[in-house]
Homo-oligomer: A and B are copies of this chain.
Amino acid sequence: MIDGSILIGQGTRRSEESFRAYDPATGAVVGPGFSIASTQDVADACALAADAAEAFGSLGPTVRAAFIEAVADAITAIGDVLIETAMAETGLPRARLEGERGRTIGQLQLSASVVRQGDWLDATLDSALPERVPPRPALRRMNRPVGPAAVFGASNFPLAFSVAGGDTASAFAAGCPVVVKGHSAHPGTGELVARAVQKAVAACGLPEGVFSYLPGKSHELGAALVADPRIKAVGFTGSRGGGLHLVDIARKRKEPIPVYAEMSSVNPVIILPGALAGRGIELAGAFSSSLTLGAGQFCTNPGTIVAVDGPALDIFVGAAADALAGVEPATMLNSGIAEAYREGVAALDRNPAVERASDIHGASHNRCAPALFDTTAEAYVRDASIREEVFGSAAIVVRCRDLAEVAATVSAMEGQLTATIHMDDGDMEAAQALSPLLADKVGRLVNGWPTGVEVTHAMVHGGPFPATSDTRSTSVGPLAIARFLRPVCFQNLPEEMLPPALRDGNPWRLSRRIDGELRAPAVATQPNA
């Protein structure tokens, strides 16, 4: 079932050279040699995508929703080999991967339901005013897909943020063909999912260019994909360096395009004095669990604890260190990530303004131990290197003299995916004072722990730079579809030239804003086209 192919539309190709996948726990080779897509493969995939864009983009909501559901079904149909392959390639445990598969399918199903519902089209009609001087023409606006999208798989979610993850689900929902650059750390998993998508395209009778899959290892492959003039938007989850590289390529194009890169976040956790005094030990245990979940390889991993210094904080730090001492070192996703983690921990160890707060033991090969550090707000604000993300289960406690210094610490931070406040009743005033400051820095403000990104309408998995490259976007939830849409106005067009979403009879039965007022469709007498 996995033969290391490149998938271009409905075709498969092999390259002469190949690369291998490795089990990060053992270093053993997993699966066959995987083909390396060439610049010609990129060009061919993009040409097919461009050919498919108009037909796919103008499908009715019901048809496109059915396709997205077919993708979800095809992933389910892969069966257990998908979980086994992902386990071998990523070192993640079965339960985690089964959960992630459920989430991936759930994302696709939610996207399909949102597509079918149709509000994302933002159909808006302003009537002609022929009596006005000068007469006002009829104006009608809707969202249209931007065109073919490039999607880059992330290493840390081999299913939910990879080949048919959130970026692909939302690009498909918007009506954009997708060309995926597969992540080289899980190419077998990627190929299984890609073949499922390829099958769904065929089963739904869609133009083959709706989906292509380009495995490979080099930065040049991704660069060529983003530079291709037929690509109109890019979705990426990964490192800050990787994301900024793609942003740079995209803006140097003859036609610059948006790159939606989700990159870097230390996800500050503010523990207010009442909560710290009242349940510091309990919080320390929950913190340890959140920090070490999935070997700390979550974008929303709580990497920075900010609190007012004192005995209660000492107790929290001690209890957290104890809890972390009980956590077995965990296999990281690949040797590059493990190496970067060890380097990040070593850099904090070398920093004279930072102290180790936990025992780090038992690490070996790609298994890394959690690490807790301790510093002062003064040092944290002064030294940008302390504020950098260490991807994995490392965190730093920032000791503040008072609540004013807590605010100063938050102010020194860059943009974040999340910030968390832990508060008890006596903390309300402090929490209210900090809340706008935190909301300005993040995509999501949490009372609880930041890990666990729900796929719902209200979710924002985004935030100011460098959390993402576009602060107005989210990569999770139905709002993610907006990244792949743009508004177009049709002025005074005859009925036959209008897209169905804007025609007089409202054939797609959409809620539409008419002369400023949102109106629900009349009761349906037949299903959407």
Residues of A participating in the B interface, judged by any CB pair closer than 8 Å: 54, 58, 113, 117, 119, 124-126, 134, 136-137, 139-141, 144, 146-147, 247, 251, 255-256, 258, 414-415, 423, 428, 431-432, 435-436, 439-440, 442-448, 452, 454, 456-460, 462, 464-465, 469-472, 474, 479, 482, 485-494, 496-497, 511, 513, 515-516, 518
Q: Choose among B141, B479, B518 the residue that contacts A460 (Cβ–Cβ < 8 A).
A: B141
Give Cα A474 to B141, complex, Å. 12
Are B487 and A474 neighbours in the complex by a CB distance under 8 Å? yes
18 further A-B contacts with Cβ under 8 Å, apart from A137-B454, A141-B479, are A54-B440, A58-B436, A117-B516, A126-B456, A134-B452, A141-B457, A146-B471, A255-B415, A255-B465, A256-B469, A258-B470, A428-B494, A439-B488, A459-B489, A460-B488, A464-B486, A472-B485, A518-B518
Q: In the assembled complex, how far is the CB of residue A491 from the closest CB belonging to chain B, in whole angstroms? A: 4
Are A447 and B251 neighbours in the complex by a CB distance under 8 Å? no
Are B486 and A119 neighbours in the complex by a CB distance under 8 Å? no
Q: Choose among B414, B435, B452, B513 the residue that contacts A497 (Cβ–Cβ < 8 A).
A: B435
Q: Known contacts being A125-B458, A126-B458, A137-B454, is A447 close to B494, with CB within 8 Å?
A: yes
Are B139 and A454 neighbours in the complex by a CB distance under 8 Å? yes
Give Cα A146 to B439, complex, Å. 10
Q: Known contacts being A443-B489, A445-B489, is A513 close to B457, with CB within 8 Å?
A: yes
Are A460 and B487 neighbours in the complex by a CB distance under 8 Å? yes
Q: Known contacts being A456-B126, A462-B487, is A431 close to B472, with CB within 8 Å?
A: no
Give Cα A415 to B442, complex, Å. 33
Are A496 and B432 neighbours in the complex by a CB distance under 8 Å? yes
Are B489 and A457 neighbours in the complex by a CB distance under 8 Å? no
* Closest residue of B by beta carbon distance from A119: B518
* Closest residue of B by beta carbon distance from A484: B472
Give Cα A519 to B117, complex, Å. 14
Give Cα A297 to B442, complex, Å. 42
Q: In the assembled complex, how far is the CB of residue A435 from the closest CB belonging to chain B, in whole angstroms? A: 5
Are A255 and B414 neighbours in the complex by a CB distance under 8 Å? yes
Are A436 and B54 neighbours in the complex by a CB distance under 8 Å? yes
Are A255 and B485 neighbours in the complex by a CB distance under 8 Å? no
Give Cα A116 to B447, complex, Å. 30
Q: Choose among B54, B134, B423, B492 the residue that contacts A447 (Cβ–Cβ < 8 A).
A: B492
Q: Choose among B113, B125, B431, B458 the residue that contacts A139 (Cβ–Cβ < 8 A).
A: B458
Oligomeric state, in copies: 2
Top 6 A-B residue pairs of the complex, sorted by shortest distance between their CB atoms: A460-B489, A141-B458, A139-B458, A444-B489, A126-B456, A446-B491
Question: B residues within 8 A CB of A489?
Answer: 443-445, 458-460
Are A492 and B448 neighbours in the complex by a CB distance under 8 Å? yes
Question: B residues within 8 A CB of A494?
Answer: 423, 428, 447
Give Cα A471 to B452, complex, Å. 33
Q: In the assembled complex, how far is the CB of residue A268 from the closest CB belonging to chain B, in whole angstroms? A: 15
Q: Known contacts being A458-B139, A489-B445, A516-B457, is A497 close to B431, with CB within 8 Å?
A: yes
CB<8 Å pairs between A and B, sample of 30: A54-B436, A58-B436, A117-B516, A124-B457, A124-B458, A126-B456, A136-B454, A139-B454, A146-B471, A251-B251, A258-B472, A428-B494, A428-B496, A432-B497, A435-B497, A439-B490, A443-B489, A444-B488, A444-B489, A444-B491, A447-B491, A448-B491, A448-B492, A457-B513, A457-B515, A457-B516, A460-B487, A462-B486, A472-B482, A479-B487
Are A454 and B496 neighbours in the complex by a CB distance under 8 Å? no
Are A464 and B255 neighbours in the complex by a CB distance under 8 Å? yes
* Closest residue of B by beta carbon distance from A494: B447
A446, A458, A474, A485: most-surrounded residue (chain B CB, <10 A): A458
Are A459 and B146 neighbours in the complex by a CB distance under 8 Å? no
* Closest residue of B by beta carbon distance from A423: B494
A136, A431, A487, A511: most-surrounded residue (chain B CB, <10 A): A487
Q: In the assembled complex, how far is the CB of residue A297 from the closest CB belonging to chain B, in whole angstroms? A: 19
Q: In the assembled complex, how far is the CB of residue A273 from the closest CB belonging to chain B, in whole angstroms? A: 16
Give Cα A459 to B122, complex, Å. 12
Q: Choose among B119, B141, B454, B516 the residue that contacts A126 (Cβ–Cβ < 8 A).
A: B454
Question: B residues within 8 A CB of A258?
Answer: 470-472
Are A147 and B487 neighbours in the complex by a CB distance under 8 Å? no
* Closest residue of B by beta carbon distance from A461: B489
Give Cα A265 to B459, complex, Å. 37
